């Protein structure tokens, strides 16, 4: 573009696709408008042009270019903004910023807010409209995972992880004529992780050796708090990596920060180990988080938060509008956000069947008499909450009768024999009724016993008696 082209562009004034800014003092407003253009057809912002269309230009220094580069980083997803400079007089220039939207990436946001254009004005995009566009993008067959990877080649992938994946696929007999040899390019293409010799984003999520600056969404944040609310850290980790690396890191962190209760079996020398959270439930929740994360957004992260009484595993991205939270605990149709990524996890044997992960989590918890897990959405994230099978508060009343609560309260004060429990309860019950209550409390993990026959004493299980 030359000065004549610039004058022709300006003469009709601001419009749905053109806006003037007098200087880079209004650079933030300029990028809000560029964001609005990206969420439409396209558009141009001219910096160095007054509101009345007069060309005034401005000085462009290295600092100016750096400010523009920093603003570009705040657009999400990464956007194609063409930048040009037109000299007008002496050392003054007009900066031309043209938005070239990729329809597969809409909605775009700037500094975590979405904008849209109405006539010649820029406005915040309504939250409902943003969510609608976001879900449409997530479910698009040409979604983020199927787009070409930026600046990534085969050399940037973890070849050992790829070969292990091929081996796992063969071992699990989930080949379906896909993995016939050890040719990495052929096999990645068959798995729909390459197209015409170019790696797709899904390949980066699954196999990147080192996460580049273009893929900062491949991150896992983990924290163990003291107590039942966010406060003092006991442990925390912040890790970048491919999905399989992050899965292993997550399992190590959880193992380090959760407990195993051990009880001696009557008449046996072996211990009965009871992990605080069932392995199958934790693994399903973790895999769900990694395969269903909204990777098109570089903001947010997959997170694991552990408290004394619960664990929460969250991933950015809400449910498909075709599924409700209630559907998750029963048979439901699967609407995968990242089908290529899920396909590799399935073929590798890490997922048994589509659409049953949340049911398996519930099943694993109920099988060991744990409180039923919870699924909910919060601030654009999907969260799985698992309740500790070891933690009990002084007012715990989950699945207990009033008499069982009284027994538990007595045993939290001191170990007590069945005979003394009868006296302290002051209730007209039979031996069988008391024995049934004690057995029920033991099965739920609240109490245990030591000694035999007349020397038997019952006691409340405390967190201090749980070992790593």
Give the domain ranges of the chain: 3-127, 139-391, 402-465
- Provide DSSP, 274-307: EESS-HHHHHHHHHHHHHHS-TT-SSS-EEEEE-
Percent of the chain with pLDDT strictly greater than 90: 43
Mean pLDDT, rounded, for 423-434 = 89
Query: Phi then psi for 392, rounded to 5 degrees?
Result: -135, 140
- Provide DSSP, 95-137: EEEEEE--GGGPSPEETTB-EEEETTEEEEPPHHHHHHHHHHH
For CA atoms 424, 427, 432, 433, give the dihedral sign.
negative
Weakest-pLDDT range from 132-141, 220-229, 334-343: 132-141
Please report the pLDDT score of residue 369 as a whole number.
79
Q: Are 411 and 447 in contact (CB under 8 A)?
A: yes
Structure tokens at 27: 């650079």
139-391 and 402-465, same CATH topology: no
Phi-psi region of 342 (alpha: psi -120 to 50; beta: other; left: phi over 0): alpha
The span from the CA of 300 to the CA of 218, in Å, is 10
Q: Are 38 and 108 in contact (CB under 8 A)?
A: yes
The span from the CA of 388 to the CA of 270, in Å, is 24
The span from the CA of 458 to the CA of 119, in Å, is 76
Please report the pLDDT score of residue 262 as a whole number.
61
pLDDT-based confidence at residue 323 (cuts at 50, 70, 90): confident
Please report the pLDDT score of residue 266 as a whole number.
54
Report angle CA 91, 93, 98 to the nearest 5 degrees.
160
Please report the pLDDT score of residue 336 as a whole number.
80
Weakest-pLDDT range from 31-35, 134-138, 436-440: 134-138
Interhelix angle for 418-425 vs 402-413, to 10°?
120
Please report the pLDDT score of residue 382 as a whole number.
92
State the CB neighbour count (10 A cutoff) for residue 126. 11
Q: Is the pLDDT of residue 314 over 90?
A: yes
Interhelix angle for 279-292 vs 243-257, to 10°?
140
Please report the pLDDT score of residue 138 as a whole number.
63
Which position has the token pair 């895999």? Answer: 287
Q: Is the pLDDT of residue 376 over 60?
A: yes
The span from the CA of 155 to the CA of 213, in Å, is 16
As to burial, measured by CB atoms within 10 angstroms (0-12 exposed, 13-18 middle, 19+ buried), residue 156 is middle
Mean pLDDT, rounded, for 27-45 = 93
Please report the pLDDT score of residue 392 as a whole number.
54
Please report the pLDDT score of residue 157 as a whole number.
95
pLDDT-based confidence at residue 459 (cuts at 50, 70, 90): confident
Please report the pLDDT score of residue 464 as a whole number.
36
Q: What is the pLDDT of residues 92-123, one digit of tens each?
A: 999 999 998 877 778 899 988 999 998 889 99
Please report the pLDDT score of residue 465 as a whole number.
38
State the CB neighbour count (10 A cutoff) for residue 186. 14
Please report the pLDDT score of residue 200 as a whole number.
93
pLDDT-based confidence at residue 305 (cuts at 50, 70, 90): very high
Bridge partners (DSSP) of residue 264 are 271
Total residue length of the chain: 468
Q: Are 252 and 243 in contact (CB under 8 A)?
A: no
CATH superfamily, domain 3-127, is Schlafen, AAA domain (3.30.950.30)
**Distant-in-sequence, close-in-space partners of 3: CB < 8 Å, separation ≥ 6:** 86, 88
Q: What is the pLDDT of residues 153-204, one digit of tens each?
A: 999 999 999 999 988 888 877 655 456 667 899 889 989 999 888 999 999 9
Q: What is the pLDDT of residues 354-372, one digit of tens each?
A: 667 889 999 998 888 788 8
Mean pLDDT, rounded, for 242-254 = 97
- Stronger pLDDT, 85 or 327, i.e. the higher one: 85
- Stronger pLDDT, 247 or 329, i.e. the higher one: 247
Q: Is the pLDDT of residue 463 over 70?
A: no
Question: 60-67 — which CB contacts under 8 Å span 24+ positions?
Answer: 60/85, 60/93, 60/95, 64/24, 64/95, 67/24, 67/27
Q: State how far Cα 455 lies from the chain centre.
A: 52
Mean pLDDT, rounded, for 394-423 = 80
Q: Are 217 and 295 in contact (CB under 8 A)?
A: yes
Please report the pLDDT score of residue 146 as a whole number.
87
Is 219 strand, coil or helix?
strand
Q: Is the pLDDT of residue 208 over 80?
A: yes
State the CB neighbour count (10 A cutoff) for residue 139. 14
Name the residue among 129, 109, 39, 123 with its Cα closest to residue 296: 109
**139-391 has which fold?**
Heat Shock Protein 90 (3.30.565)
Q: State the average pLDDT for the chain.
A: 86
Q: What is the pLDDT of residues 37-61, one digit of tens each?
A: 999 888 999 999 999 999 999 999 9
**402-465 has which fold?**
Arc Repressor Mutant, subunit A (1.10.10)
Name the residue among 139, 198, 140, 207 with its Cα closest to residue 345: 207
Q: Are 37 and 120 in contact (CB under 8 A)?
A: no
Please report the pLDDT score of residue 116 as a whole number.
93
Rg (CA), the chain: 30
For CA atoms 348, 352, 358, 364, give the dihedral sign.
negative
- Stronger pLDDT, 154 or 214, i.e. the higher one: 154
pLDDT-based confidence at residue 10 (cuts at 50, 70, 90): very high
pLDDT-based confidence at residue 466 (cuts at 50, 70, 90): very low
Q: Is the pLDDT of residue 79 over 90?
A: no
């Amino acid at each position: 573009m030359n000065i004549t082209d610039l004058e022709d562009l300006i003469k009709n004034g601001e419009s749905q696709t053109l806006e003037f800014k007098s200087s880079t003092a209004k650079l933030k407003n300029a990028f809000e408008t560029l964001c609005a253009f990206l969420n439409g057809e396209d558009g141009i912002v001219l910096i160095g042009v007054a509101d009345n269309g007069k060309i005034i230009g401005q000085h462009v220094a290295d600092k100016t270019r750096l400010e523009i580069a920093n603003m570009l980083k705040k657009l999400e997803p990464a956007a194609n903004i063409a930048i040009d400079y037109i000299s007008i007089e002496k050392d003054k220039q007009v900066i031309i910023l043209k938005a070239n939207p990729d329809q597969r990436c809409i909605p775009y946001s700037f500094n975590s807010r979405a904008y849209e254009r109405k006539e010649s004005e820029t406005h915040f995009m309504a939250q409902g409209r943003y969510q609608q566009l976001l879900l449409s993008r997530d479910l698009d067959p040409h979604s983020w995972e199927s787009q070409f990877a930026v600046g990534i080649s085969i050399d940037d992938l973890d070849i050992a992880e790829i070969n292990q994946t091929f081996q796992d696929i063969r071992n699990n007999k989930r080949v379906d004529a896909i993995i016939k040899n050890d040719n990495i390019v052929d096999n990645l293409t068959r798995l729909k992780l390459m197209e015409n010799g170019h790696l797709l984003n899904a390949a980066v999520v699954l196999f990147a050796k080192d996460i580049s600056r273009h893929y900062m969404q491949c991150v896992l944040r983990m924290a163990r708090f003291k107590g039942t609310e966010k406060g003092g850290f006991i442990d925390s980790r912040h890790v970048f990596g491919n999905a399989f690396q992050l899965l292993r890191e997550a399992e190590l962190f959880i193992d380090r920060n959760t407990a195993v209760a051990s009880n001696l079996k009557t008449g046996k020398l072996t211990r009965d180990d009871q992990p605080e959270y069932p392995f199958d439930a934790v693994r399903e929740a973790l895999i769900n988080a990694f395969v269903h994360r909204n990777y098109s957004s570089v903001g947010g992260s997959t997170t694991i938060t552990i408290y004394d009484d619960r664990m929460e595993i969250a991933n950015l991205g809400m449910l498909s509008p075709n599924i409700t939270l209630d559907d998750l605990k029963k048979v439901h149709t699967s609407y995968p956000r990242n089908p290529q990524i899920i396909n590799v996890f399935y073929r590798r044997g890490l997922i048994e069947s589509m659409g049953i992960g949340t049911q398996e989590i519930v099943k694993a918890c109920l099988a060991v008499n744990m409180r039923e897990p919870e699924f909910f959405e919060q601030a654009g994230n999907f969260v799985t909450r698992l309740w500790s099978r070891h933690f009990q508060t002084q007012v715990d009343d989950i699945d207990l009768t009033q008499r069982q609560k009284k027994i538990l309260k007595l045993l939290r004060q001191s170990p007590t024999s069945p005979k003394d429990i009868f006296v302290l309860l002051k209730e007209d019950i039979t031996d069988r009724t008391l024995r049934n209550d004690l057995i029920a409390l033991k099965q739920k993990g609240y109490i245990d016993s030591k000694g035999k026959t007349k020397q038997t004493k019952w006691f409340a299980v405390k967190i201090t008696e749980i070992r790593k």
